[in-house]
Amino acid sequence: MRTRIIAKLDVKPPYVVKPVHFEGLRKVGIPAELAKKYYDQGADEVFYIDIVASLYQREILFDTIEETANELLIPFAVGGGVRSMENFSKLFHKGADKVVLNTYALQENPDLINEAARTFGNQAVVVNIEAKKWDNHYECYSDCGRIQSEKDVLAWVKEVEERGAGEILLQSVDKDGRQRGFDINLAKQVVDAVEIPVVVSSGAGTLEDIKELIEYAKPSGVAIASLLHYDKLTIEEIKKYLRNDGIEVSK
């Protein structure tokens, strides 16, 4: 099975930013330009998360999304501040293939998952998990790791699967942006808990980190941000390394 290598853009319009621990934002580029660059490098997909829409309680900005979508002939997942079926429709209209949900489903109305999956198909509904580690469990957060939910990560991923989500984007509040390796135990627990694909993010610092994650947790995809934004590695280099080590990836 081929592990998908995905480029993740955390966007604070009009810029792609890179938060560390989801805070301390640094501007790294323009969404459409970076999306094109990673497409040319061989990304399997692009994830685009407007990381402030929910916090500012405004709608996601559609123009930037359309501009970015126009650069891509690969799947494009978009999220941030999504809270209605109208948001879903509009995002698909602007070129999204999948919509990523977190805050609203977690903190207010999980039924939106069911409704969206029924209407747009399971594969179009991705649930974003921001996991933070406590002594012996992980808790779901929202709004870039700012707001607690008191929901246990493993219970919540099973619930969203049951409700019809087609995929999970798993982020770690503790590891994000640090480039010091993934939380591979968290990843394995989540991958094993559900039947749907899990894309793991947060923590890639070296090629070995990515390989270790894939071999240990067997996620369906790995989402990379900082490593790419700072030109430490290209997607081509990552795929070549993994292929040489016997891990299947697309061309």
- Residues lying near other proteins in the complex (CB under 8 A) are found at 1-2, 4, 44, 69-70, 73-75, 88-89, 92-93, 95, 97, 118-124, 166-167, 195-198, 220-221, 250-251
Pairwise CA distance, residues 103 & 82, whole Å = 8
Between CA 26 and CA 248, with CA 124 as vertex, the angle to 5 degrees is: 75
- Considering the complex, what minimum distance in angstroms separates the CB of residue 219 from other proteins? 9
DSSP H or E run through 207: helix 207-217
Comparison of 122 and 206: residue with beta carbon closer to other proteins: 122
Comparison of 19 and 219: residue with beta carbon closer to other proteins: 219
Answer yes or no: are the C-beta atoms of 47 and 16 closer than 8 Å. Answer: no
Answer yes or no: are the C-beta atoms of 46 and 39 closer than 8 Å. Answer: yes
DSSP H or E run through 155: helix 153-163
Comparison of 51 and 113: residue with beta carbon closer to other proteins: 113
Comparison of 70 and 148: residue with beta carbon closer to other proteins: 70
Quickly list H helices, 21-121: 31-41, 62-69, 85-93, 103, 111-120
Comparison of 123 and 149: residue with beta carbon closer to other proteins: 123
- Considering the complex, what minimum distance in angstroms separates the CB of residue 175 from other proteins? 23
Answer yes or no: are the C-beta atoms of 61 and 90 closer than 8 Å. Answer: no
Dig out the tokens for 44 from the structure: 């399997």
Dig out the tokens for 82 from the structure: 């999504």
Comparison of 15 and 88: residue with beta carbon closer to other proteins: 88
